Amino acid sequence: TACKFAGLSDISISEDIPVEGDISVPVGSQNPDDDFSTLDEPVKDTILRDLRAVGQKFVHVLYPKKSSALLKDWDLWGPLLLCVTLALMLQGGSADSGEDGRPQFAEVFVIIWFGSVIITLNSKLLGGTISFFQSLCVLGYCILPLTVAMIVCRIILLGALSSVSFVVRLIVVTASFCWSTFASTAFLADSQPANRKALVVYPVFLFYFVISWMILTFSPSP
Amino acid sequence: MSASQGSTNTNTEPWGSFDDNVIQGSGSAVIDMENMDDTSGSSFEDMGEIHQREEEEEEVTAEAAATEEDNGEYGEFLGMKGLKGQLGRQVADEVWQAGKRQASKAFNLYANIDILRPYFDVEPNQVRNRLVESLIPVRMINFPQKVAGELYGPMMLVFTMVAILLHGMKTSGTVIREGTLMGTAIGTCFGYWLGVSSFIYFLAYLCNAQITMLQMLSLLGYGLFSHCMVLFITYNVHFHSLFYILWLVIGGLSTIRMVAVLISRTVGQTPRLILCGTLAALHMLFLLYLHFAYHKMVEGILDTLEGPNIPPIQRVARDVPVVANAVVNATIKSIAAVVQSQ
């Protein structure tokens, strides 16, 4: 049949018409798994590899330098983990209060993701060069200091609920809020034109402020 | 039938389309087995098959996809084996490709955020200038004042107001109900901005004022700057008299500015009155509502929870008559003292 194909192609294509474009064989997805197949490795390997990537990005957030690891290999596992942890910890004690005592799980989730989407859209509309998911990745990972602050606040709240504890919690949350904002702007502001950095930083500041407010006003049910 | 199909062929390939006379029974998608000759590995009726399907696809997609189809045709030609099972997959794949192309075209047309990009083209000093100008009433109302049509400033102001409202709940010292208050705060602020803008735009349309929806959104959004400032101050300094003064002064300045801009773009006394009266009323009343209604709501929730044991005045210094009376009494006393000393 090869020679028949060749014969037909002689008839059908004239010399001066350039033949270009993709030639795809659309007969099912029979991609040979020769080079990069991760389907056959054990699940433990996959999980460990992903966890290692997530952990590496955590380190990049905690010591924000101008590295592009967060941007190049973006993933959304880390933000999901942090978001779920934060939302679970904001649930707190027992659900005995009749009213909506504290933010529901879905509320925290929606605020974090909806806020990240808004900030991403804003930075793209202002002429940013960062892609949608990269920005989501950076904003999600920079919630890490606030999650750590939440853990610390929970530990402090195991003790007495007094004004001293409030002041300590205020200091901790403020410090982690500044850390988060600084870390995320270190990644995000680079993708903006130079004179518009302030326009991008402000919504990030608001976003982390709202999350810090939720953390600071958390009080466990008696 | 072949000849008529040849004449209605809209897609003539550059190398000259296949002569349909060669293909028997090319009008349907079913292979006419009796016309298949021995060389069925790469038979001409399969080419006719492809040809027919290309024609149908041409009616679905735009002309711009013609070059793709040429290449796709070559690709299919190489992969075609002339069997029905693979034909079914071919057809399904072609339909999928066509549908995907259409969907991505529609998506690029409608969900393109570049539509909004010109409204966000601002510099930080421009935003700062407009924020300050929103409190300065314009003098000249004889010719239309320029209204900047941008959406960055208004959106950031709305989000800031949401944050300030939430902050106000915290500093009032009440047990926080983030769940209900967060959604309410966001809904209130965005509802005000979008709803009142639309309503005033509708009135402006009725009153023949020359203002576009974008300009109205921008104008009202920047008017929220006064609200943000007043609420930020009065949530931290709890004095009702201070709130009234700020409400009149700062709220009034921003209202006068918005009203002046609208007046400059409207002709006729009655339309001006209607439009500006409505805007002024809504703007000022909204600030009043934000200050009082939220506290009352929080206090109401508190009452149901903590019971009547704790007298209301101890929780939040929001008791209007007592504070106002105290201020009035102090003022009267001081005036009386001054008068008596003369």
In a domain, A16, yes or no: no
Q: Which of A170, A151, A153 is nearest to A86 (CA)?
A: A151
In a domain, A158, yes or no: yes
Q: Among partner residues B89, B113, B116, which is closest to A27 by beta-carbon distance?
A: B89
The pLDDT value recorded for residue B303 is 57
Window A:54-93, CB contacts with B under 8 Å? none
Using a CB-CB distance cutoff of 8 angstroms, which residues of chain A are in contact with residue B72? 24
* Rounded CA separation B47/B63 (Å): 21
Mean pLDDT for chain B overall: 73
Lowest mean pLDDT among A162-171, A209-218, B12-21: B12-21
* Rounded CA separation B135/B246 (Å): 13
Q: For residue range B293-330, what is the model confidence (pLDDT) as tens digits?
A: 666 545 555 555 555 554 444 445 555 566 556 667 77
Cross-chain Cβ contact B113/A121 below 8 Å: yes
Q: Which of A178, A6, A192 is nearest to B77 (CA)?
A: A6
Residue B182: C-alpha distances to residues A149, B164, B187, B294 (Å): 21, 11, 8, 12
* Rounded CA separation A177/B156 (Å): 19
Q: For residue range A117-161, what is the model confidence (pLDDT) as tens digits?
A: 888 888 888 877 788 888 888 898 889 999 999 999 888 888 777
- Which residues neighbour B100 within 8 Å (Cβ) at sequence distance 6 or greater? none
Using a CB-CB distance cutoff of 8 angstroms, which residues of chain B are in contact with residue A16? none
Cα Rg, chain B, nearest whole Å: 35
In a domain, A213, yes or no: yes
Of A100 and B321, the one with more pLDDT? B321
The answer, yes or no, to whether residue B88 has pLDDT greater than 70, is yes
Window B:145-164, CB contacts with A under 8 Å? 152, 155-156, 159-160, 162-163
Window B:16-55, CB contacts with A under 8 Å? 39, 41-42
The answer, yes or no, to whether residue A19 has pLDDT greater than 80, is no
Cross-chain Cβ contact A19/B166 below 8 Å: no
* Rounded CA separation B54/A120 (Å): 41
* Rounded CA separation A43/A29 (Å): 24
Mean pLDDT of B138-148: 80
* Rounded CA separation A191/A129 (Å): 5
Using a CB-CB distance cutoff of 8 angstroms, which residues of chain A are in contact with residue B177? 99-101
* Rounded CA separation B234/B231 (Å): 5
Residue with tokens 């508190």: B302
The answer, yes or no, to whether residue A7 has pLDDT greater than 80, is no
The answer, yes or no, to whether residue A66 has pLDDT greater than 70, is no
* Rounded CA separation A66/A69 (Å): 9
Cross-chain Cβ contact B122/A199 below 8 Å: yes
Q: How confident is the model at residue B78 (pLDDT cuts 50, 70, 90)?
A: very low
Query: Which value does ipTM take for this structure?
Result: 0.71
Asked if B334 reaches chain A (Cβ–Cβ under 8 Å), the answer is: no
* Rounded CA separation B9/B181 (Å): 65
SS3 of chain B: the string is CHHHHHHCCCCCCCCCCCCCCCCCCCCCCCCCHHHCCCCHHHCHHHHHHHHHHHHHHHHHCCHHHHHHHHHHHHHHHHHCCCCHHHHHHHHHHHHHHHHHHHHHHHHHHHCCHHHCHHHHCCCHHHHHHHHHHCCCCCCCCCCCCCCCCCCHHHHHHHHHHHHHHHHHHHHCCCCCCHHHHHHHHHHHHHHHHHHHHHHHHHHHHHCCCCCCHHHHHHHHHHHHHHHHHHHHHHHHCCCHHHHHHHHHHHHHHHHHHHHHHHHHCCCCHHHHHHHHHHHHHHHHHHHHHHHHHHHHHHHHHHHHHHHHHCCHHHHCCCCHHHHHHHHHHHHHHHHHHHHHHC
In a domain, A29, yes or no: no
Asked if A154 reaches chain B (Cβ–Cβ under 8 Å), the answer is: no
Asked if A169 reaches chain B (Cβ–Cβ under 8 Å), the answer is: no
Cross-chain Cβ contact B76/A26 below 8 Å: yes
Triad A175, A177, A180: Cα angle to 5°:
110
Q: Contact, B152 vs A126, CB < 8 A?
A: yes
Q: Among partner residues A21, A118, A217, which is closest to B176 by beta-carbon distance?
A: A217
Q: For residue range B195-230, what is the model confidence (pLDDT) as tens digits?
A: 999 999 999 999 888 889 999 999 999 999 999 999
The pLDDT value recorded for residue A59 is 82
In a domain, A112, yes or no: yes
Q: Which of A55, A202, A49, A62 is nearest to A118 (CA)?
A: A202
Exposed e or buried b for every residue in A144-166, given b needs 16+ CB within 10 A? bbbbbbbebbbebbeeeeeeeee
* Rounded CA separation B321/B305 (Å): 24
Cross-chain Cβ contact B75/A17 below 8 Å: no
The answer, yes or no, to whether residue B64 has pLDDT greater than 50, is no
Window A:89-148, CB contacts with B under 8 Å? 97, 99-104, 107, 111, 118, 121-122, 124-127
User: How many distinct structural domains can be found in chain A?
Assistant: 1
Return the structure tokens found at B248: 């009149």
Cross-chain Cβ contact B41/A22 below 8 Å: no
Q: Among partner residues A17, A23, A217, which is closest to B178 by beta-carbon distance?
A: A217
Cross-chain Cβ contact A121/B41 below 8 Å: no
Closest B-chain CA to A198: B124
Using a CB-CB distance cutoff of 8 angstroms, which residues of chain B are in contact with residue A19? 74
Domain range holding A153? 75-92+103-217
* Rounded CA separation B131/A60 (Å): 37
Asked if B83 reaches chain A (Cβ–Cβ under 8 Å), the answer is: no
The pLDDT value recorded for residue B25 is 45
Asked if A216 reaches chain B (Cβ–Cβ under 8 Å), the answer is: yes
